[in-house]
Every structure is written in structure tokens, then in C-alpha cells.
A and B are shown apart, each in its own frame.
Chain A
Amino acid sequence: MNERKYKESLEQIKASEEFKEHLKQEMHKAQTNNKERQMNKQTKQHNHLFKFAIVGMFMIVIACTYIFFHSINKTEEKIVERIPQEKELPILTLTASIDVGGLGFEGYSCYRAEDLMHDNPYDVKQIHTVLPVYQNLNIEGRFGMYGIKRFSEEKERSYLANYAEKLLLKEYEISIEEDWAKLESEMCEIWIQGKTRTSIAFQDAYRKKMDTIIKEDDNKQTVKKKIAKLIKQKEFSALFPMQKVGIDVQLMYSSDNEQNKMRAEYFVSVYEKEKQQAHSLLNRQFEAIELTFDEEGKLASISIPFTQTKKDIGNYPIIDLTHAKQRLKEGHYYTNNGGHTSTMDKIAYVEVVYLKNGTLDYFMPYYKFYALANEQDKVIKIDDQIQFYIAYYVPAIETKYLLNMPNNETLSTH
């Protein structure tokens, strides 16, 4: 009765009541956001009607004035001049909550606070003035019932063939389905994920033949050197056309339940480095090619973003780190901490990032604070020494350009 056993084992899998409650809360939050958006939309529509009426009246006045002046003195034609308008930055409406860190829950585990630090090209301690905000042109769920915006079939084929050429693939098969566009070869599978990114996943058989790149006793610096060498190899070099290469290595530990220990994982981003920190930050955040490694330290995947998913709204003035800390203290942050809490004195690291969740209307900069969680013992059981950090995202734009600042519990100093 194998079928019965299969069913029985599945029957035992149930969502916990705690998780169901969490789901309901998140859905209520999303519902509140929807209502707010609709109200804003209605207000905008009313504003548009009002604007049209004003513009109409203004045009009538101009026409009458023109006729009046024209009729009394033709030499005064140039009196009515167009007043130059300053370009105004639109107000950005924030939502009550966002799925930070992807979906669900975001946490970082490491042994030392230094483990969290990485080469973000943007120094938060320096004074910066403006950073761009982008409109998300590819909001998930708006294009088709399930998906994200796709290229035409012809374009997808041409992109895949182009990657095949870059990777020096001789034999491969391309399949374009309703949900995906894929190239399959002995070396790898290449997926085009809508207009968001292309992912190259190396086949198990190919990986077996590969050299191990990351070893257990490597540190971030040695990993960085190895990556610099790897991307110059002939089979990969065409994927990394940067003139000045920036390599950012992030370290995280995850639980290896089979071996009952924590395992170091490195997430590598390769981007074009530029003179200006802000430009490097934008390249790092939006154009970086990401590399991941398997448990044996061999290259598992390369993920390349498309650049057509965003549109510049404008350069917005940003707040400094002191102001950002004040906002955090006052509860103006987003977090997805899974119920864990922290305090101001437990902040271990700060960086500026763009949240790029596909469901957001805007991609805007945030100060990301990593803070040690208050109750360590509940989080990780494998290793007593490991520490657990949660992330808080504070909007980095000046207050006058933001509507609906998030409001959460204030963070105490102790």
C-alpha cells in the first residue's frame, strides 16, 4: 500500500497555527496597502481633473490676453512670455509594509559582527547629497495572471543563443514555453526570467569535472582573489565585460543539518567599479552579476540582470547616517524579523542598499541596519557561538518627499 503510505506521510505536513496567524496579519496589511493605493489613485484622478480645469482656464486667459494685446498694439506681442518651471520631484508614497529580503523572514547568522561587513562601494559615513529613485517597470503579477513581463520569443531565442556563444557552447537546445525560456546543454541550463534576469545553472556532471574554487578555510579576501581569477577564464570571460572590476563578497552561515554544523556560504557580486561612489553603488545594486557556489565550493550558478526594468524618476536628497539612526529609533523602518527584536546599541553594521523586490512601485535607497537579535537561544540550536542578526530598512530619502512613512515599535537604546 505504497500510495496509502505516501498520502499518510503527506497528511502529517500541516502549516502551524502560528504561521497561519502570521499569514492573516500579512494579508490584512496588504489589504490596507491596497486601500491606501486606491485612495491615492482616486485623489490623483481628482487632482488630474482639477489640473485639467485649471490648465483650460489658464489657456482661455492667455488666448484672451493675446487677442487683447494683439488688437491694441502689435509691437507688444512678446510681452506674454512662458514662465520657466522648475522640475519638481514627485512625492513618493510608501506602503505600510514590504516583503524585505525577498519573502517571509530575513535573518543573518554569523560568528562575529565583522562577518556581516562587505565591500559596499558606498561609504555611509561620508556626506552624500542625492541618489536616484527608479520606477519599477516590471511589477510582478501585473503582466499575465502569474508572471512577469517577458521579451518576445524571438528576442528570448536571440539572448539565449548569445549566451551560448559567450559560453562557447557548441551543442544546445532552446525551448520556449508559456512560463519560461530555457537553453539546455551539457555544461549548463540557461533560464531567462522575464525581463528581470538570466540565470546560468551548471549541470551536476559538469560541476563534477570543475575544480573546487572556495575551500572551507578561505576568507573573504582569498575568495575575492579567486573570483578575480575565475572570471578571466576563457569559458567565462565574455560574461564579465567590466573595465574596472568590483568584487563584493558576502558571507553567511547556514545550518547543515546532515553534518550538524554551521556551513559558511559566500555570495559573490561582480560589477563595474566607477570613480563616483554613487555610480558604483548603482552598478553594484542593479547591474551586478551574482555567482553562487555549491557545498563543495564549485561554481553553481551565474545570474545576470537585465537593465530594462527601471525608469529614473529623479535624484532625491538623502538623509545622513545620524538622521537615519533617529528614524530607526522612532520606528520608521521596514523589517521582516520573524518576531525577533533588537535595540539601538546592538547595531553591528550599516550600509545603503536599494530594495528591489519585484512587487514594489519604486526602487529607492534605504539605510540597512543589521542588529543583533535579543533572544539568541531561540534561533539557532546547532552552535552556541553563532549569533543571529536581523535587518531594519530605513528610507534614505528626505522626509518632505515621502508620504506614509512606516511606523513600527520604537527601538530602545538598551
Chain B
Amino acid sequence: MQEKDTYNRVFDKGRKNMHTNEEIERVVDMYADTLFRMAMHHVQNVAQAQDIVQDVFMKYMKNTSSFNDQEHEKAWLLRVTINCCKDLQRHWWNKKRVDYPYEEMTGKEDQSSTLLEEVKKLPFHYRNAIYLFYYEQLSIKQIAQITHVKEGTVSSWLHRGKKLLKKQLEGGFDDE
């Protein structure tokens, strides 16, 4: 509830490409983990995920459109993150950078499970749909809105993704 109040207070001022310090603090504290997690779901290392998150926040700073509410804002950020992940896949040849050791940046060892690794092997749209559906708990309708496709397409991504996972692993997800 407190988060919502802060959001409204900050956003009542209107956007027009100017952000208060309070808004910058809020948006990073609120979404940095979510976006980083999503980026890590799609890319191979921490440095790439950090690049993506930074890029998304820079786009946020430049964005002049206003958001209806916090949900809309989150959907926008997720959408831009998905696009940046896709762009990175296409632009990977432009990466000429050194990887930071994972534990150095996060203070943790890489504990990604086998299951997560298997999900990461799925084609982009399948793993994206699986992430949004199972982790972000978005409905098929919401995923369709974020990814700008029909609901049927999302259902099919989920179905095929789960089917592929089932082949890769013994079991896949429970509802399969």
C-alpha cells in the first residue's frame, strides 16, 4: 500500500521526461531485481544482464509517455526488457566486453538449478512465456498484451515450451 502511495505521489507530478530523485530511487528499488532476474533468464552472464537492465532504465528516463498505474509501468518495463534481450541476441556480435565474475557482482555463487538451465535452453518466446506465466504470475491475456501477440499464440508458446521441457527433463511442470 505504501508503495502505491509513493507511486501516486511521484506520478501526480506528471512525467514529461523529467524524473525526481525520489522517483529514480523508487523505480530502481522496486524493479531492479525483477528486471535483472528476467534478463538473467534470457542471457548468459551477469554483465549482459546488467547491460540490459541499465539500458531499460535509460530508456525509462527518456520515455515521455505517462503510465496509467503501477501495473502499466511494470508491464512497460518488462516489455522493454524483453525487447532488449531480443536485441542482445541479435546483436551479440557487437559485444566486445569482459565478463565480471558472477559472485563478484552479486556476492553469491551461481546457484541456478538444472531446471532453470533447461528453461533457458528453450526458444526465446517459449522461455519468455514460461517466465511471465510461472514466475511473474501473469495471465495469458496480460502476457499477450505485453508481447503484442494474440492470446492463442501465448497459449501455444506455453504449451510447446512445456512439451519441450518435458522432453528435456523428466516431468516438466506439474500441470503438464
Contacts and interface: CB of A to CB of B under 8 A. Distances in A.
B96 A101 contact: yes
A345 interface: no
Given A16-B105, A388-B98, A10 B50 contact: no
Interface residues of A, number: 68
Interface string A353-384: 00000010000000000000000001111000
8 contacts: A3-B134, A15-B33, A19-B53, A102-B95, A103-B58, A193-B87, A303-B93, A338-B100
Interface of A: 1-3, 5-10, 12-16, 18-20, 22-24, 26-28, 30-31, 34-35, 38, 99, 101-109, 140-141, 145-147, 178-180, 191, 193, 199, 201, 250, 252, 254-255, 257, 267, 290, 292, 300-301, 303, 338, 359, 378-381, 388
Contact of B54 (A18, A26, A255, A379): A26
A141 B59 contact: yes
A30 B58 contact: yes
Given A2-B115, A19-B36, 18 more contacts: A3-B134, A3-B173, A7-B135, A10-B135, A12-B111, A14-B106, A15-B35, A15-B53, A20-B28, A34-B17, A99-B55, A102-B51, A105-B50, A145-B63, A178-B148, A267-B96, A290-B93, A378-B104
B18 A5 contact: no
A104 B148 contact: no
Chief secondary structure at chain B's binding surface: helix
Interface of B: 17-19, 21, 24-25, 28-29, 32-33, 35-37, 40-41, 47, 50-55, 57-59, 61-63, 65, 76, 79-80, 83, 86-87, 90-91, 93-101, 104-108, 111-113, 115-116, 119, 131, 134-135, 148, 169, 171-175
A26 B50 CA distance: 13
B51 A252 contact: no
A293 to B, nearest CB: 9
B173 A2 contact: yes
A140 B83 CA distance: 13
Nearest to A189: B90
A20 B98 contact: no
B135 A191 contact: no
Contacts, number: 182
A257 B173 CA distance: 30
Contacts of B40: 13
A2 B172 contact: yes
What 9 A-B pairs come out closest when comparing CB atoms? Answer: A292-B93, A15-B36, A9-B113, A104-B51, A103-B51, A9-B116, A15-B32, A107-B98, A30-B61
Given A3-B134, A27-B19, A35-B18, A16 B53 contact: no
A364 B11 CA distance: 36
Given A2-B174, A193-B90, A388-B98, A105 B47 contact: yes
A26 B58 contact: yes
Contact of B83 (A28, A99, A179, A199): A179
A24 B53 CA distance: 12
A380 B18 CA distance: 39
